Structure 1
Amino acid sequence: MRVTMLEPVGKKQIRLYLEDERYCLLYAGEARRLGLKEDMDLSEVQKNELDSMLLSRAKLKAMNLLKVSDRTKEEIRMRLRRLELPESCIEGAVSYVEGYHYIDDEAYVRNYIGYRGFSKSRLKLRQELLKKGISTELFEQIWEESAVSESDILRTQIKKRIRQKGPVTEENFQKNLAFFARKGFSIHDILEILKEYKE
């Protein structure tokens, strides 16, 4: 493989291009230690040393991210991509932390629903988890198993709103309806429960 460019990034880093393709970000000291120069052919030993170093960095970063809070596989991938690591190192790091059960998307969804499920609609939870790389299928499977009742959640949220904003009246009925509809609850359920509490 040919080193086609070493592009300075800030004061301390260098972007390495192999065969005209962006490969990774390195610290200047690492590039010197590996003896990298533009227009040189990278030996198999140097390439293996480079990949091994990048994989170690990816694993360490993944572990540090998980120290702070639980994350999904996709969240780990997204954070590692920001470091401009090769995809093989990113996948290696994800497999590493997954192998030790430090990440488990199924457990993550169960915890997420358990923790946030009492205050948010099914739709809102699904949208939030979709952004974190959780498939709709996995979410729906765990939601069904969770025995969470969306109408109970809605009822609790309506009672909370009444405590904060006052009773449901003819004047504010539409406003309340719109408020809960924006939160992703079913219009039918909102109408039924609001009518019960309407003065």
Structure 2
Amino acid sequence: MYIERIEQLEKGRRRLVFETGERLVLYKGEIRSYDLSEGQDIPETLYQELLCDVLGKRATKRAMHLLEKQDRTEYQLREKLRQNEYPKEAVEQAIAYVKSYHYIDDLRYACSYVRYQKEKKSNRRLQQDLQKKGVAKEFIEQALLEEGNEDETDAIQRLLEKKGYTPEMPREQANKIYQFLLRRGYKSSDILYVMRSEYLT
């Protein structure tokens, strides 16, 4: 593996760029310790050591730190590590480690998300949100089945009451509440049904 160049980064880090296009970000002390320099051809065994023993372990620590701050989906954690410039192999090593201890569990994440957000959002909106977070379709469906809104008219009613809606309210004000519910992903027909029904009288 031929080191084409070494680029200087912030916080004492250096980016090793190989002729193959591979990139490894190491600390200045690690480069010194492994006696690495531009124009050097390093053996594959050393490259693998840097990849797994140095960066794989660091990516795992980083993943644990990120999960301590907040729960994340596998996709979100993968993206965060990728943004931190960890190579694919190091990211996979970190993901495999945290998955083995169930520190990430997309089904658990989806169920928790639906449970705490269903009072404010429709099933359709919850589904869209979880899709954006990279949760698999089958996990989303299971979470909505277990934790979702069985009757969305009840959820709409609660939100209308929370907003202080009454059928006698000025049209402009009622329209703002209607738009608010649309943004939450509720169907127009369901919103209008509840707004016009005896639920709120």
Same fold (TM over 0.5): yes
Q: Which digits, 9 at most, give the CA deviation of each residue in 1:62-107, with x for residues without a partner? A: 1111112211111111111121111011011001100011110001
Question: Aligned to 2:14, what secondary structure does the other structure show?
Answer: strand
Give the match's secondary structure for 1:38.
coil
For the pair 1:160 / 2:159, whether they are aligned, the reply is no
Q: How many Å separate the matches in 2 of 1:11 and 1:71?
A: 26
Q: Percent identity?
A: 35
Match of 1:180 in 2: 181
Q: Distance in 2 between matches of 1:126 and 1:132?
A: 10
- The structural deviation recorded for 1:179 is 2.0
Distance across 1 between alignment mates of 2:10 and 2:174: 57
- Paired residues of 2:115 and 2:148 also in contact (CA < 8 A): no
Distance in 2 (CA, whole Å) between partners of 1:8 and 1:132 is 33
Residues 184, 72 of structure 1: CA spacing in aligned structure 2 closer, same or farther, 3 A cutoff?
same
Post-superposition Cα deviations, 1:140-164, rounded to whole Å, max 9, x if no partner, equal 23212335222222111111011xx
Separation in structure 1 between the aligned mates of residue 39 and residue 193 of structure 2, nearest angstrom: 72
1:54 maps to 55
Which one-letter code corresponds to 1:48 in the other structure? Q
Which deviations, in whole Å up to 9, do the C-alpha atoms of 1:5-52 show, x marking residues without a partner? 111113511111112514121111111111111111111332122111
Paired amino acid for 1:41: D
Describe the SS at the equivalent of 1:40: coil
For the structure 1 residues 10 and 92, does the alpha-carbon distance in structure 2 shift closer, same or farther, using more than 3 Å as the test? same
* Residue identity in the other structure for 2:60: K
Counterparts of 2:116 and 2:196 in 1: how far apart (Å)? 29
Give, as a single letter, the amino acid of the residue that structure 1 aligns with 2:32: R
- CA distance in 2 between partners of 1:198 and 1:170 (Å): 16
Alignment of 1:117-128 (within 5 A): 117-128=118-129
Structure 2 distance, partners of 1:87, 1:153, is 43
Question: Within 1, Cα distance between the matches of 2:125 and 2:23?
Answer: 37
1:25–1:83 contact (8 Å) kept in structure 2: no
**C-alpha deviation, 1:115, in angstroms:** 1.4
**Counterpart of 2:3 in structure 1: which amino acid?**
V
Determine the C-alpha separation between the residues in 2 that align with 1:140 and 1:53. Answer: 39
The answer to whether the 8 A contact 1:170-1:198 is kept is no
Per the alignment, residue 79 of structure 1 pairs with: 80
The count of residues paired between Structure 1 and Structure 2 equals 196
Match in the other structure for 2:195: 194
Partner AA of 2:112 in structure 1: N
Query: For 1:29 and 1:20, how far apart are their aligned partners in 2?
Result: 24
Check conservation: 1:122, 1:184, Cα contact below 8 A: yes
Q: Residues 175 and 83 of structure 1: is their aligned pair in 2 closer, same or farther, counting only changes over 3 Å?
A: closer
SS in 1 for 2:29: helix
